[in-house]
Amino acid sequence: MTDIQKREKKDLTRARRGRAVTHQAPRRPMPGVELWRGSDGQLWARTADRTCSVRPVRCFPWSKPTRFVSLRDRDEDEVALVRDLSDLPYTAQRALGTALLEAGFVFVVEAVLEVEEEIEIRRFRVRTAQGMRSFQTLRDEWPRGMSGDGLLIKDVAGDLYLVPNPDGLDAKSRRLLWAFID
């Protein structure tokens, strides 16, 4: 009897006795990609095709931050997709984990002081929990609604600004954000 047949027989016996049967496929190292932090502090990836600096971009669901991470080059082309950090060797996990922490930093907006629209951009001046900030967004880049009534704004540099409760902002901030709030 093979190992698979033995496991199936054991699962059938457990199921007949009313016990839960849970199986997870054994994790295999992610083939074809090597990751490391370069002396320049950037995350680097080597695949069969090329070696380049990459930045991690979390894919949905955001509730599982170590799963489905797209590694993108400077042209925003996907170099590799990491299905789970645990699929990587330890040193690559550390390198990608650090890069994710750096990339995942989100400014929490406490007040909107100014929003100016220009031909192709919007300029925001805000007060965040981390201090005063000015940033730009593309004019056709609209804030995303988040669960719990929050707004997420992404600037042209890729930084994220979270407005956790737009209705809880002061009157001036709400007036400046009125076009973004349903």
Mean pLDDT of 75-83: 93
What is the pTM assigned to this prediction? Answer: 0.51
Contact present, 27 and 87 (Cβ < 8 Å): yes
Residue ranges covered by each domain of the chain? 34-103, 106-180
Q: Is the pLDDT of residue 75 over 70?
A: yes
* Residue, of 75 and 16, whose pLDDT is higher: 75
What is the pLDDT at residue 31? Answer: 62
- Give residue-wise pLDDT tens across range 131-164: 999 999 999 888 888 766 788 898 888 788 989 8
User: In the chain, count of helices (H) and strands (E)?
Assistant: 3, 11
Give CA–CA dist 124/133, Å, rounded: 8
